[in-house]
A and B are shown apart, each in its own frame.
Chain A
Amino acid sequence: MLMKKITILLLLELSSLYGKNDLMSGLTEIVNKVEDEKAKDKKVLNYAFKQRMRTQLIALNALLISMDFNRKFYQKEIVVNSDLFNKNFNNLLNSKEDIKKAETRDPNFRKKIEEIKKIWLTFYDSSKRISTDAKDKNALKFIEENNIKLLTTIDYIFTNFIKSYQSTDKLEASISHIKSMLYTQVGKPRMYINKLVKERLLIEQNINVKDNQKNFNKTIKDMDRLMKALADGDKELELDGTEDRKILEKLSISQKIWEELKALVIKKRLNKEEWHKIIENNKKFMKSHTEVVKLTRESNDN
C-alpha cells in the first residue's frame, strides 16, 4: 500500500516536472522565434549601416589615387570598397518586403532609394574608371561633386529603416528609440574621419578651398562633439553616454588616435611624412572604432 502511494507520488512529481520543462522550453522556443525574426531585420540594417562611411572612403580613395599617393594600393582599395557598397546596396534593393515596411512609415522612402540608385550607377562606374586610369578627371569630378549627396541620402535611408522597425507598442518603441539613436550615432565617427581627411586633401589640392575649409572645420567640431557624447552623453544628440568599461576602454583608444590625427590635419602645411601618418591613423581609427561599434551593438548599456 505504502509502495503504491510512493509510486503515485513519484509519478505525479515526474509528470509535473515534465509539464514545467515543457512549458519553459515552449516559451523559450517562441521567444527565440521572435528573436530570429528580429535578426532578419538586423540584416537589412547591416546593409545600410556601413554605407555612409563607404561613400567617404571611396571619395578619399579617389583623391589619393589622383594625387599619386600610394596609387597602386588605393586603386585596389577603391575597387574593394565600391564593390562592397554595390553588393550591400543590391541586397538592400532586394529586400522588397522591408522597403515596403519602411514605405508605410515614410512615403518618400522609395523615391530616396531611386535617388541613390541614380547617383550610385555613375559613382560606381567612376570609381571603376579611376581604378584603371588615375588621371580620369571626369570620374574624379563626379565623385567629388556627388559623395556628400550620396552620404546624406544614405543617412536618410538608414535612419528611416531604423524607424520602420520600431514597435507599434508605445513602451517598446520608446525604449528602443534610445538604442536606435545610439546605433545611428555610434558608427558616424568612421564616416567623419574619412570625410575630414578627404576635405583636408581637397584643401591641399586647392580645390574649392573656401567651402572645403568651412566643411573641414565643421567636421572636426562634429567629430569632437560626437566622440565626447559617446562617452559622456549629449542631450541634443540624444545620447546617454556609457558606463560600460569595455566600451570606454575602446573609446579611449579611438579618442587617442583621433587626437593624434587632429593635431596633424589642422596644420596649415603638411609634409609627405605627415600625410603618411594621417592616412595611417585614419586606417587605425577605422579599425579601433569598429570595435566600439561592435561592443555597443552587443551591449545592454541603456
Chain B
Amino acid sequence: MKHNIMICLILLSNILIAGDVKITEELESLIIQDGNKEIKIERIQDQKHRLTSSFTKTSRKCPPFCVQPIKIGNVKTIGEIELLKYIKEIEKDNADMLLIDARTKNWLHNGTIPTATNLPFTMIQKDSKYLNKILNLLGAKEEKNGKWNFDKVPSMIIFSNGLWDPQAPKAIQSLIELGCPEDKILYYRGGMQDWNILGLTLQLKED
C-alpha cells in the first residue's frame, strides 16, 4: 500500500513538473507539421539540464567568429517569440516564407531549427557556380540588364550559429547586394546559440 502511494506521488510530481518550463507564460509548446512528421517545439523540461556541446564555449577566434551587430542594413532582427510565430505562419501560409539555416553543412550535425532549409552562405555568393540555379529556384528572375528581380521570392528568415557567427550576416549581405529588398529578409541573430540555451527542440537532419 505504502509502495503504491509512493508510485502515485512520483507520477503526480512528474505530471506537475511537466510543462513547468514554458516558452512564454501563455505558450507551452508549438506543434507543427513538417512533411509527414509532426514536430512539437518545446523547451527541455529538466530544470537541471546543462548544455555540453560547443555552445557552452565563451571564446572563439575572431576573425572569423566576431560579435555580430544587432542590425544588418535595414533588415529586421527578430528573437525567438517572433521566430516561433513565423514558424507557425510558414506552416499555414506555405510558399510565402522560408526559414534558412545559412551555415555550411558540417555545422548541421548537432541539429537545426525545425522546418529550416539549409542554404549555406557560400552558395549565394556572387561567384558561386550554383547562384543562378538557386535564385531561379527561389523565384527570382534575371532581367535584361543583368539585375535580379526578387518580387516572387518568398520572405526569408535567416540564421546561423548566433551572435558570434558571421555566416548569416554574410548570407544577408550577399542577398542585398544581389538586389533582394531588405524587407524580404528577417535576421534571427540569436541563432543556434540562443535556440540551444533556451533548450528548444532541435531537428536532426539525416545525412
A-to-B contact residues, CB < 8 Å: 13, 16-17, 19-21, 23-24, 26-28, 30-31, 33-35, 167-169, 171-172, 174-175, 178-179, 240, 243-245, 298-302
Known A26-B137, A300-B109; judge A171-B54 contact (CB<8 A): no
Chain B residues, CB < 8 A from A302: 54, 60, 65, 107
CA distance A174 to B64 in the complex (A): 6
Q: Is the CB of B109 within 8 A of A299?
A: yes
Chain A residues, CB < 8 A from B61: 178, 240
Chain A residues, CB < 8 A from B105: 31, 34-35
The proximity string for B residues 158-170 relative to A, scoring 1 for CB distances below 8 Å and 0 otherwise, is: 0000000011001
Q: Which of B104, B134, B170 contacts A27 (CB 8 A)?
A: B134
The proximity string for B residues 53-82 relative to A, scoring 1 for CB distances below 8 Å and 0 otherwise, is: 110110011011100000000000000000
Q: How far is the CB of B55 from chain A (nearest CB, A)?
A: 9
Q: Is the CB of B54 within 8 A of A30?
A: no
Closest B-chain residue to A35, C-beta based? Answer: B105
The proximity string for B residues 25-64 relative to A, scoring 1 for CB distances below 8 Å and 0 otherwise, is: 0000000000100000000000000001110110011011
Known A23-B137, A174-B63; judge A169-B122 contact (CB<8 A): yes
B-to-A contact residues, CB < 8 Å: 35, 52-54, 56-57, 60-61, 63-65, 93-96, 98, 104-110, 117-123, 125, 127, 130, 133-134, 137-139, 154, 166-167, 170
Query: Binding site of A, secondary structure by majority: helix, strand, loop or mixed?
Result: helix
Chain A residues, CB < 8 A from B120: 31, 34
Closest B-chain residue to A177, C-beta based? Answer: B64
Q: How far is the CB of B62 from chain A (nearest CB, A)?
A: 10
